[in-house]
Amino acid sequence: MNCIIIDDEATARAIIAQLCSNVDHLNVLEEFPNAIQAIKYLNQNEIDLIFLDIHMPDFTGFDFIETLKNPPKIILTTSDSNFAIQAFEYDCIVDYLVKPITLERFQKAIKKANAKTVTATGLDSSEKVETTSGNDLYVNIDRRLIKIDIPSIYLVEAKGDYIHVKTESQNYTVHSTLKKIEEKLPNDLFLKVHRSFIINVNKIIDIEDNSVLIKKDVIPVSRSNRPELMKRLNLL
Protein backbone atom coordinates (compact mmCIF):
# COMPACT_ATOMS: atom_id res chain seq x y z
CA MET A 1 0.00 0.00 0.00
CA ASN A 2 1.63 3.23 -1.17
CA CYS A 3 1.34 6.14 1.26
CA ILE A 4 2.52 9.67 1.98
CA ILE A 5 3.00 11.56 5.24
CA ILE A 6 1.88 15.18 5.73
CA ASP A 7 2.99 16.87 8.95
CA ASP A 8 4.67 20.22 9.59
CA GLU A 9 6.90 18.70 12.29
CA ALA A 10 9.96 16.82 11.05
CA THR A 11 10.09 14.67 14.20
CA ALA A 12 6.47 13.61 13.77
CA ARG A 13 7.11 12.66 10.14
CA ALA A 14 10.14 10.61 11.18
CA ILE A 15 8.13 8.76 13.85
CA ILE A 16 5.34 7.87 11.43
CA ALA A 17 7.85 6.76 8.81
CA GLN A 18 9.50 4.52 11.43
CA LEU A 19 6.10 3.03 12.35
CA CYS A 20 5.41 2.40 8.67
CA SER A 21 8.71 0.53 8.37
CA ASN A 22 7.32 -2.05 10.82
CA VAL A 23 4.51 -2.96 8.41
CA ASP A 24 5.66 -5.03 5.42
CA HIS A 25 3.10 -3.90 2.88
CA LEU A 26 3.40 -0.15 3.62
CA ASN A 27 5.53 1.84 1.22
CA VAL A 28 6.18 5.49 2.10
CA LEU A 29 6.63 7.33 -1.20
CA GLU A 30 7.02 10.90 0.05
CA GLU A 31 6.89 13.14 3.13
CA PHE A 32 5.59 16.72 3.09
CA PRO A 33 5.86 19.54 5.67
CA ASN A 34 2.67 21.20 4.40
CA ALA A 35 -0.53 20.44 2.51
CA ILE A 36 0.25 22.68 -0.48
CA GLN A 37 3.26 20.58 -1.51
CA ALA A 38 1.21 17.42 -1.04
CA ILE A 39 -1.58 18.70 -3.30
CA LYS A 40 0.92 19.34 -6.10
CA TYR A 41 2.23 15.79 -5.68
CA LEU A 42 -1.25 14.24 -5.69
CA ASN A 43 -2.14 16.06 -8.91
CA GLN A 44 0.42 13.87 -10.66
CA ASN A 45 0.52 10.71 -8.56
CA GLU A 46 -1.94 8.17 -7.18
CA ILE A 47 -1.57 6.75 -3.69
CA ASP A 48 -3.54 4.46 -1.39
CA LEU A 49 -3.19 6.10 2.02
CA ILE A 50 -2.33 9.45 3.60
CA PHE A 51 -1.09 10.03 7.15
CA LEU A 52 -2.35 13.55 7.78
CA ASP A 53 -1.77 15.99 10.64
CA ILE A 54 -4.73 18.25 11.50
CA HIS A 55 -2.96 21.34 12.83
CA MET A 56 -0.66 22.88 10.24
CA PRO A 57 0.13 26.53 9.48
CA ASP A 58 -2.23 28.23 6.99
CA PHE A 59 -3.86 25.00 5.81
CA THR A 60 -5.44 22.51 8.23
CA GLY A 61 -5.88 18.83 7.57
CA PHE A 62 -9.62 19.30 7.04
CA ASP A 63 -8.95 22.15 4.59
CA PHE A 64 -6.68 19.76 2.70
CA ILE A 65 -9.32 17.03 2.52
CA GLU A 66 -11.86 19.49 1.13
CA THR A 67 -9.56 20.18 -1.84
CA LEU A 68 -9.46 16.52 -2.89
CA LYS A 69 -12.01 15.40 -5.47
CA ASN A 70 -11.29 11.68 -5.05
CA PRO A 71 -9.54 11.33 -1.69
CA PRO A 72 -7.68 8.11 -0.88
CA LYS A 73 -7.90 6.53 2.54
CA ILE A 74 -6.72 8.90 5.28
CA ILE A 75 -5.46 8.29 8.81
CA LEU A 76 -5.38 11.47 10.87
CA THR A 77 -2.40 11.97 13.20
CA THR A 78 -2.74 14.68 15.80
CA SER A 79 -2.02 15.67 19.39
CA ASP A 80 -5.58 17.05 19.70
CA SER A 81 -8.44 14.66 20.49
CA ASN A 82 -11.15 17.32 20.14
CA PHE A 83 -11.82 16.74 16.44
CA ALA A 84 -12.63 13.01 16.49
CA ILE A 85 -16.36 13.49 15.89
CA GLN A 86 -15.76 15.93 13.04
CA ALA A 87 -13.21 13.57 11.54
CA PHE A 88 -15.60 10.65 11.21
CA GLU A 89 -18.01 12.75 9.16
CA TYR A 90 -15.56 12.19 6.28
CA ASP A 91 -15.97 8.80 4.63
CA CYS A 92 -12.35 8.74 3.48
CA ILE A 93 -11.02 8.93 7.06
CA VAL A 94 -10.44 5.44 8.40
CA ASP A 95 -8.92 6.24 11.79
CA TYR A 96 -7.85 8.99 14.19
CA LEU A 97 -4.50 8.57 15.93
CA VAL A 98 -3.63 10.76 18.90
CA LYS A 99 0.08 11.43 19.45
CA PRO A 100 2.19 9.91 20.89
CA ILE A 101 1.28 6.93 18.70
CA THR A 102 2.12 3.44 19.89
CA LEU A 103 3.01 0.64 17.46
CA GLU A 104 0.03 -1.44 18.63
CA ARG A 105 -2.42 1.41 17.99
CA PHE A 106 -0.75 2.17 14.66
CA GLN A 107 -1.11 -1.43 13.51
CA LYS A 108 -4.78 -1.39 14.46
CA ALA A 109 -5.27 1.68 12.25
CA ILE A 110 -3.57 -0.08 9.34
CA LYS A 111 -5.91 -3.04 9.74
CA LYS A 112 -8.84 -0.64 9.43
CA ALA A 113 -7.29 0.88 6.32
CA ASN A 114 -6.88 -2.58 4.79
CA ALA A 115 -10.49 -3.50 5.58
CA LYS A 116 -12.06 -0.32 4.23
CA THR A 117 -12.67 0.17 0.53
CA VAL A 118 -13.07 3.72 -0.77
CA THR A 119 -14.88 4.28 -4.07
CA ALA A 120 -14.04 6.93 -6.63
CA THR A 121 -16.39 9.33 -4.86
CA GLY A 122 -14.61 8.83 -1.54
CA LEU A 123 -17.55 6.98 0.01
CA ASP A 124 -17.12 3.78 1.98
CA SER A 125 -18.28 0.86 -0.16
CA SER A 126 -17.97 -1.80 2.55
CA GLU A 127 -20.86 -2.74 4.78
CA LYS A 128 -18.76 -2.65 7.91
CA VAL A 129 -19.74 0.14 10.28
CA GLU A 130 -16.71 2.14 11.40
CA THR A 131 -16.74 3.46 14.95
CA THR A 132 -13.92 5.12 16.79
CA SER A 133 -12.95 2.01 18.72
CA GLY A 134 -14.51 -1.46 18.83
CA ASN A 135 -17.82 -1.36 20.69
CA ASP A 136 -17.40 2.31 21.61
CA LEU A 137 -19.02 5.35 20.06
CA TYR A 138 -17.77 8.83 20.89
CA VAL A 139 -20.18 11.77 20.92
CA ASN A 140 -19.29 15.44 21.19
CA ILE A 141 -21.17 17.10 24.05
CA ASP A 142 -20.19 20.55 25.33
CA ARG A 143 -16.76 20.23 23.68
CA ARG A 144 -16.13 16.93 25.44
CA LEU A 145 -15.86 13.53 23.81
CA ILE A 146 -18.10 11.14 25.71
CA LYS A 147 -17.58 7.42 25.21
CA ILE A 148 -20.75 5.33 24.90
CA ASP A 149 -20.82 1.54 24.96
CA ILE A 150 -22.73 0.69 21.77
CA PRO A 151 -24.57 -2.44 23.06
CA SER A 152 -25.94 -0.35 25.97
CA ILE A 153 -27.82 1.92 23.54
CA TYR A 154 -31.45 0.88 23.29
CA LEU A 155 -33.01 3.83 21.46
CA VAL A 156 -31.99 6.78 19.27
CA GLU A 157 -34.59 9.46 18.54
CA ALA A 158 -34.30 12.37 16.12
CA LYS A 159 -35.67 15.74 17.19
CA GLY A 160 -34.95 18.61 14.83
CA ASP A 161 -31.21 19.20 14.55
CA TYR A 162 -30.50 16.92 17.52
CA ILE A 163 -30.65 13.25 18.37
CA HIS A 164 -31.43 11.72 21.77
CA VAL A 165 -29.33 8.65 22.54
CA LYS A 166 -30.79 6.53 25.33
CA THR A 167 -28.63 3.94 27.09
CA GLU A 168 -29.04 1.60 30.04
CA SER A 169 -27.37 4.09 32.38
CA GLN A 170 -27.75 7.57 30.88
CA ASN A 171 -29.30 9.64 28.09
CA TYR A 172 -27.42 12.03 25.78
CA THR A 173 -28.50 14.87 23.49
CA VAL A 174 -26.19 15.32 20.52
CA HIS A 175 -26.17 17.85 17.68
CA SER A 176 -26.27 15.41 14.77
CA THR A 177 -28.61 13.56 12.41
CA LEU A 178 -30.19 10.14 12.56
CA LYS A 179 -28.49 9.23 9.29
CA LYS A 180 -25.01 9.93 10.67
CA ILE A 181 -25.42 7.82 13.77
CA GLU A 182 -27.13 5.05 11.79
CA GLU A 183 -23.93 4.72 9.75
CA LYS A 184 -21.94 4.23 12.96
CA LEU A 185 -24.16 1.55 14.52
CA PRO A 186 -23.79 -2.17 13.67
CA ASN A 187 -26.51 -3.39 11.31
CA ASP A 188 -26.97 -6.70 13.10
CA LEU A 189 -27.95 -4.97 16.35
CA PHE A 190 -29.80 -1.81 15.33
CA LEU A 191 -32.69 -1.10 12.99
CA LYS A 192 -34.34 2.10 11.84
CA VAL A 193 -38.04 1.39 12.37
CA HIS A 194 -39.33 4.91 11.72
CA ARG A 195 -37.98 8.08 10.15
CA SER A 196 -37.32 9.40 13.68
CA PHE A 197 -36.30 6.24 15.56
CA ILE A 198 -33.54 3.64 15.60
CA ILE A 199 -33.90 0.77 18.05
CA ASN A 200 -31.68 -1.93 19.49
CA VAL A 201 -33.55 -5.06 18.39
CA ASN A 202 -32.23 -7.05 21.35
CA LYS A 203 -33.91 -4.64 23.79
CA ILE A 204 -37.48 -5.15 22.51
CA ILE A 205 -39.89 -6.17 25.27
CA ASP A 206 -43.16 -6.33 23.35
CA ILE A 207 -44.59 -5.74 19.87
CA GLU A 208 -48.18 -4.73 19.29
CA ASP A 209 -49.67 -3.66 15.98
CA ASN A 210 -47.40 -0.93 14.60
CA SER A 211 -45.35 -0.20 17.71
CA VAL A 212 -42.66 -1.76 19.90
CA LEU A 213 -42.04 -1.43 23.63
CA ILE A 214 -38.45 -0.85 24.79
CA LYS A 215 -38.00 -0.05 28.47
CA LYS A 216 -40.89 2.40 29.04
CA ASP A 217 -40.78 3.84 25.52
CA VAL A 218 -43.42 2.96 22.95
CA ILE A 219 -41.85 3.37 19.51
CA PRO A 220 -43.88 3.61 16.28
CA VAL A 221 -42.96 1.25 13.46
CA SER A 222 -43.60 2.47 9.94
CA ARG A 223 -45.34 0.16 7.49
CA SER A 224 -42.30 0.08 5.20
CA ASN A 225 -39.94 -0.95 8.03
CA ARG A 226 -42.17 -3.55 9.68
CA PRO A 227 -41.22 -6.46 7.32
CA GLU A 228 -37.52 -6.03 8.11
CA LEU A 229 -38.27 -5.89 11.83
CA MET A 230 -40.25 -9.13 11.67
CA LYS A 231 -37.45 -10.75 9.71
CA ARG A 232 -35.01 -9.92 12.51
CA LEU A 233 -37.12 -11.55 15.21
CA ASN A 234 -36.60 -15.15 16.31
CA LEU A 235 -40.22 -16.17 15.88
CA LEU A 236 -41.55 -19.46 17.25
Please confirm whether the linkage preceding 100 is cis (ω < 30° from 0).
yes
149: Cβ contacts below 8 Å, ≥ 6 apart = 135, 136, 167
* pLDDT digits (tens), the chain, 236 positions: 999 999 999 999 999 999 999 998 899 999 999 998 999 999 889 999 999 999 888 788 988 998 888 889 999 999 888 877 777 678 889 899 999 999 999 999 999 888 765 433 333 433 233 344 557 888 877 667 788 899 999 999 998 878 999 999 899 888 888 888 888 888 889 999 999 999 999 999 999 888 999 988 999 999 888 889 988 887 65
The CA angle 59-64-68, to the nearest 5 degrees, is 155
Q: Give residue 142's pLDDT.
A: 65
DSSP state of 215: T
Nearest alpha-carbon partner for 198 in 147, 134, 155? 155
Residue 133's CB is within 10 A of a number of other CB atoms, namely 13
Beta strands per DSSP E along the chain: 2-6, 27-32, 49-53, 73-78, 93-98, 136-141, 144-149, 153-159, 162-167, 171-175, 190-194, 197-200, 206-208, 211-214, 217-220
For the domain 146-232, what is the CATH code? 2.40.50.1020
Q: Give residue 140's pLDDT.
A: 76
Is the domain spanning 2-115 CATH 2.60.40.10? The answer is no
Sheet containing strand 153-159, edge to edge, reads 171-175, 162-167, 153-159, 197-200, 190-194
Judged by DSSP in three states, 198 sits in strand
β-partners of residue 49 are 3, 73
Asked whether the domain spanning 146-232 has the same topology as the one spanning 2-115, the reply is no
Domain boundaries, the chain: 2-115, 146-232
